[in-house]
């Protein structure tokens, strides 16, 4: 769950903000609250929240100053103010504040802003997962260097790297290497912890992502280039491994 703190000097307003947030529906949890910027800094340092909701005008230190002094903690902030002042908004933009809401707080608007932040967090997590997946593929490919004794697996990976755009069956590779399909299947799974088909699909999906980032080909062309029998099957496999359809993922790259 994502960790939220609320910093507001007027207790009634602070409690009202907290009560208006549907934490469970947003996959969030309230981990603390503070009444001024100085207390807010201490709270941020100790709790390390993901989202900070703060008033601008507070005793001892403003919300803007507090954010300036805690940028290293890498949280997303929402500014709340009773004043529609351009100078505040300008500073907030420079500090990377996610949104600037006016009092009295609209419950639906606040929840929508938090939902947008949570969605961006989820997307970042998904992209990070895809990068880890890519690193996993690259790590497995390094086995050619690290595991010279298991040259059969290296040969299979080399074949996939050269022929992933074509129809590939393990039986074809077995014929080329002059080994039984059963032996190759067992050896491959033992070394990579994946079945041959799982590795092949993951490899092709990573290749498709590389092509999407280049923006040279359409999705149907990428599907064909990466060896999928038809676009519908490509879309199904892509969503299985990324959580998104190819078109959704392409739109995220553009954004």
Question: What are 244-253's pLDDT values in tens digits?
Answer: 889 888 887 6
**Residue pair 199/173 in contact by the 8 Å Cβ criterion:** no
**Strands (DSSP E) found in the chain:** 2-7, 28-34, 51-55, 76-81, 99-102
pTM summary value: 0.49
Handedness of CA 224, 228, 229, 231 (dihedral sign): negative
Residue 3's DSSP bridge partners are 29
Please state at what angle helix 107-141 crosses helix 231-242, rounded to 10 degrees.
100
List, for residues 2-46, the tens digit of each pLDDT value: 889 999 998 888 888 888 888 888 888 888 889 999 999 999 999
CATH architecture label of 2-122: 3-Layer(aba) Sandwich (3.40)
Domain boundaries, the chain: 2-122, 126-254
For the stretch 114-159, pLDDT in tens is 888 888 776 666 666 666 666 666 656 655 544 544 678 888 988 9
What is 126-254's CATH number? 1.10.10.60
Helix (H) or strand (E) holding 114: helix 107-141
């Amino acid at each position: 769950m994502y960790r939220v703190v609320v910093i507001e000097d007027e207790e009634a307003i602070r409690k009202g903000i907290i009560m208006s947030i549907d934490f469970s529906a947003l996959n969030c949890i309230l981990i603390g609250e503070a009444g001024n910027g100085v207390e807010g800094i201490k709270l941020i340092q100790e709790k390390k929240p993901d989202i900070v909701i703060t008033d601008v005008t507070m005793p001892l230190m403003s919300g803007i100053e507090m954010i300036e002094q805690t940028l290293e903690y890498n949280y997303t902030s929402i500014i709340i103010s009773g004043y529609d002042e351009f100078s505040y908004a300008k500073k907030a933009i420079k500090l990377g504040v996610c949104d600037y809401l006016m009092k009295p707080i609209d419950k639906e608007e606040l929840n929508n802003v938090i939902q947008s932040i949570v969605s961006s967090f989820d997307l970042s997590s998904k992209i990070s997962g895809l990068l880890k997946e890519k690193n996993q593929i690259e790590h497995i490919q390094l086995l050619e260097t690290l595991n010279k004794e298991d040259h059969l697996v290296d040969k299979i990976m080399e074949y996939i790297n050269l022929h992933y755009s074509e129809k590939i069956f393990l039986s074809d590779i077995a014929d080329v290497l002059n080994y039984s399909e059963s032996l190759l299947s067992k050896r491959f799974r033992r070394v990579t912890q994946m079945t041959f088909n799982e590795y092949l699909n993951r490899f092709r999906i990573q290749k498709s992502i590389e092509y999407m980032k280049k923006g040279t080909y359409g999705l149907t062309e990428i599907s064909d280039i990466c060896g999928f029998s038809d676009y519908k099957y490509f879309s199904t496999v892509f969503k299985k491994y990324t959580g998104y359809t190819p078109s959704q993922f392409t739109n995220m790259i553009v954004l």
